[in-house]
Amino acid sequence: MPALARSPPLLKRQGGIPGRRWTLNPVRGTPFATDSFRGLSLVPKPLRKAVLPVAGLGTRFLPATKQLAKEMLPVVDKPLIQYAVEEARAAGIEQFCFVTGRGKTMLVDQFDVAYELERTLVERNKQKELAMLQAQALPPGSIISTRQQVPLGLGHAIWCARAFIGDDPFAILLPDDLMLCEVSCTKQLAEAYEATGGNVVAIEEVPMEHVSRYGVIAPGATRGNLVEVTGLVEKPPAEKAPSNLTVIGRYVLMPEVIGHLSKMEKGAGGEIQLTDSMAKLIGSQPFHGVRYEGRRFDCGDKAGYLEAQVAFALAREDMAPAMQKILKKYA
C-alpha cells in the first residue's frame, strides 16, 4: 500500500458568523476561509459544473443493455441518468458534461425537447404529463458530451472532460450509485465544499471484507459528519485497508486533479484510477469526507437495482400502497 500523505489541519467552520469572508489562494487559486479581510466580499468559486462518466457498456445487465444505455434503465418511471442530473441541479449545478461512448446519444436526448411528443400531449390534453416534461428540460447549452474512446478507467474518463472543467471546481456523479436522500447528496457535498474550500467526497462504512471493492480513506480528525482525509488507497485488501470508510460515486474536486490525471499513471486493475490522483492533492489542499445522510443503491448490480425499485416505490405516495400489496404476496 502506498504511503499515506498527511493533509493540512481542518479548517474551522464558522458559518453564520457576521463578517466572515473568503479569499483565493494566490498560488493555487483554491478558496480558503479567512476572517482577516474586513473589506472584501470575495466568495469561494461557485460549484456550477458536474461531470457524469457514462461510457460503460453495462455488461452485467445484458441483454437489456445490448441496445439501451445502462444509465437509461428506469427506477420506477425515471432513468438513472435523470435521477443524477436532478440531484445535481438541487445542489445548484448548472452545467453538465456527459463522458459517453459509442451509441449513447440517447443520454443527451433524454434532456432535449421532444416536439412531437409534447404536441401529442397537448392534443390529448395531458397537461400533467406535459408539465412534467417541461419541468425536467434544461436550458439550452447546459449539457455537452465528450467521448471516452477507450475504457481506461474512471480517472481517464474525468480527464476526457478537462476542457469542460477548466479552472473551476466540479462535481462528479456516477449514475450507477442511486441516492435516496432528503437533502440531495451532491448538495451535502456542496455545503461541505463551501465550508472547507477544498476537495470533498461522500463516504460510508462497509464491512471490512468488502473494502477491496472501493477506494478507502485514511481518516483524520472528525467533526460531526465531516472527516479529514489523510490518505486514500484504491481497492486495498482488507488486511491493508486504513479503515472501512469507503468513497462512493459522489465527489467535489478541485481542477488541479486534472494535472495529475494527465500523467496517465496506471493503478489498480491496470486502469487510470481517479483515487490515485485525488491522493496526490492531500497535503496541498483541504480534503474531507462527508458521512452523507441518506441511502445508496448500487444499480450497477442486479440485486441493488431491484432493491432500489422497491425503496423508491415505497418512498412515493402514489406508489407505496401498490408496492406494499405486492410485497405481502411474496412475504
- Beta-bridge partners for 298: 177
Q: Could you report the per-residue pLDDT of 125-161, keeping only the tens digit for each? A: 999 999 988 888 888 999 999 999 888 899 999 999 9
Cell triple for 76: 420506477
The answer to whether the beta carbons of residues 80 and 72 sit under 8 Å apart is yes
**Nearest residue to 244 via CA among 274, 289, 302:** 289
Q: How confident is the model at residue 57 (pLDDT cuts 50, 70, 90)?
A: confident
- Beta-bridge partners for 204: 246
pLDDT at residue 43 greater than cutoff 50: yes
Report the C-alpha gap between 313 and 272 in whole angstroms: 37
The answer to whether the beta carbons of residues 143 and 98 sit under 8 Å apart is yes
The phi and psi torsions of 38 (rounded to 5 degrees) equal -65, -35
Cell triple for 138: 434544461
The answer to whether the beta carbons of residues 5 and 279 sit under 8 Å apart is yes
Q: Could you report the per-residue pLDDT of 196-235, keeping only the tens digit for each? A: 999 999 999 999 999 998 989 999 999 999 999 999 988 8
pLDDT at res. 16? 34
Cis-peptide, bond into residue 63, ω within 30° of zero:
yes
Report the C-alpha gap between 48 and 95 in whole angstroms: 6
pLDDT at res. 264? 86
Report the C-alpha gap between 183 and 299 in whole angstroms: 20
Mean pLDDT of the region 255-266: 91
pLDDT at residue 100 greater than cutoff 90: yes
Q: 21-300: what fold? A: Spore Coat Polysaccharide Biosynthesis Protein SpsA; Chain A (3.90.550)
- The CA-to-CA distance between both ends of the chain, in Å, stands at 45
**Residue 206, C-beta contacts closer than 8 angstroms, at least 6 positions apart:** 213, 214, 244, 246
Report the C-alpha gap between 95 and 179 in whole angstroms: 20
> Quick one: CA dihedral 231, 296, 11, 244, positive or negative?
negative
The answer to whether the beta carbons of residues 312 and 86 sit under 8 Å apart is no
- Beta-bridge partners for 247: 203, 215
Q: Where are the domains of the chain?
A: 21-300, 302-331
pLDDT at residue 97 greater than cutoff 80: yes
pTM: 0.84
Q: DSSP letters along 201-260, please?
A: EEEEE--GGGGGGSEEEEEEEEETTEEEEEEEEES--GGG-S-SEEEEEEEEE-TTHHHH
pLDDT at residue 72 greater than cutoff 90: yes
pLDDT at res. 199? 96
Q: Where are the alpha helices (DSSP H) in the chain?
A: 80-89, 106-109, 115-123, 127-136, 154-159, 162-165, 185-196, 257-261, 274-279, 302-314, 320-329
Burial-class residue 130 by CB neighbours within 10 Å (0-12, 13-18, 19+): middle
CA dihedral 125, 127, 129, 132 (to 10 degrees): 160
Amino acid at the residue 256: E
Q: How confident is the model at residue 271 (pLDDT cuts 50, 70, 90)?
A: confident
pLDDT at residue 53 greater than cutoff 50: yes
